[in-house]
Amino acid sequence: MSAINAFLTILIAVFTAGSFYYLRLLGFSASYPPKRVLKQKALFCAGGACVLLLLLFCIRLLI
């Protein structure tokens, strides 16, 4: 179970970092990639991090 917790924690960190990266790119004035695509990627990463965080908490509650 420890390996699963470590794996989920690493995935949460990656998704969170990706979300911040895309939000930072959104602040720049470049026209490519389009702003809506950056918003979608940032929301996907943030949503993925939230889902994994909930999964990690549920697993820890069951142990």
What pLDDT does residue 31 have? 74
Tens place of pLDDT per residue across the chain (63 aa): 789 899 999 999 999 999 999 999 988 877 788 999 999 999 999 999 999 999 999 998 987
Q: What is the DSSP letter of 34?
A: -
d(CA 35, CA 10): 28
What pLDDT does residue 9 have? 94
Q: Specify burial of residue 19 (Cβ count, 10 A radius: 0-12, 13-18, 19+).
A: buried
